[in-house]
Amino acid sequence: MPTVLITGTSSGFGLVTAVELAKRGWDVIATMRDVAKRKPLDLELAAAGVSSKVRVEQLDVTDAASIDRAVASLDLPNHPLDAVIHNAGVAVGGAFEDLDDEHVRRVMEVNFFGVLALTKRLLPSFRAQRRGRIVIMSSEAAFAGLPGNSPYGAAKWAIEGWAESLAYEVEHFNIDIILIEPGAYRTNIWESSPRVLPKTSAYYPLLRHLEVTVDAHVAKTARDPIEVAKAVANALESPRPRFRNPVGPTAKIMHFTRGKLPSTTVRKFFSRFFSLNKVRW
């Protein structure tokens, strides 16, 4: 059976993707930064009857020693790895001027540099076996900038630029790069991400308005993350996977219009969408 390593499986897309792939017969190495948080995954695996298909390992993509231990546990090349899914991700909400460097760097370290570090460790094995699939959980945030979310948007723009460049280099070795670009889905990133909204901030009226508006939008439109898990599984099992895979109606619309409209037009659209004209400065 094919084998896949997934990062960030304690919740959200990583958890449901691990279950979906195990149900489809994949051997899954489900990794998470803190294995003490594995219970939700264990419960879902047991309910689906696929616990034996999944092995849980500790992996912090920002820690080189942790990456080395996780890769060593794979026992490559004796047990070939068919794919890796870079799902681990974090975000922070707030105006850029209000954010500490620590907040910004954490988002970049997990969402961007962590992907690069783990990929670099796995590429020699993929090259040697002349096959492999590298799946990157991106976002519709890679299609257009959004207010109060600049570090996350920057990380997703960066990872997509890196992925598109890497695709040229690894194509000869039959290694596929696959971007999954979801819209709004019901995951705990909305609750777990820090929000920096100091009342003394010059941007407080905007941030408070966005907090209420975005929360209402997510509550109303966020979809079942199983859709994303199925999109990942379908891409992995496709004979010829697409490079970009927007998932969900808003992501597909933004994907279609990407690069076709001037940035000023896009900003005007989102200003209306988020009713920014109602902000009382």
Would you state the torsion angle of the CA atoms of residues 188, 160, 221, 103, taken in this order, to the nearest 10 degrees?
40
Quote the radius of gyration of the chain (alpha carbons, Å). 19
Cβ-count burial 179-201 (b if 16+ within 10 Å, e if not): bbbbbbbebebbeebeebbeeeb
The one-letter amino acid at 71: V
Strands 27-32 and 3-6 come out as: parallel
Of the CA atoms within 13 Å of residue 37, those in its CB half-sphere come to: 14
What 3-state class would DSSP assign to 11? coil
Check if 152 is active-site.
Answer: yes
Annotated catalytic residue, options 152, 185, 203, 204: 152
Return the active site residues: 152
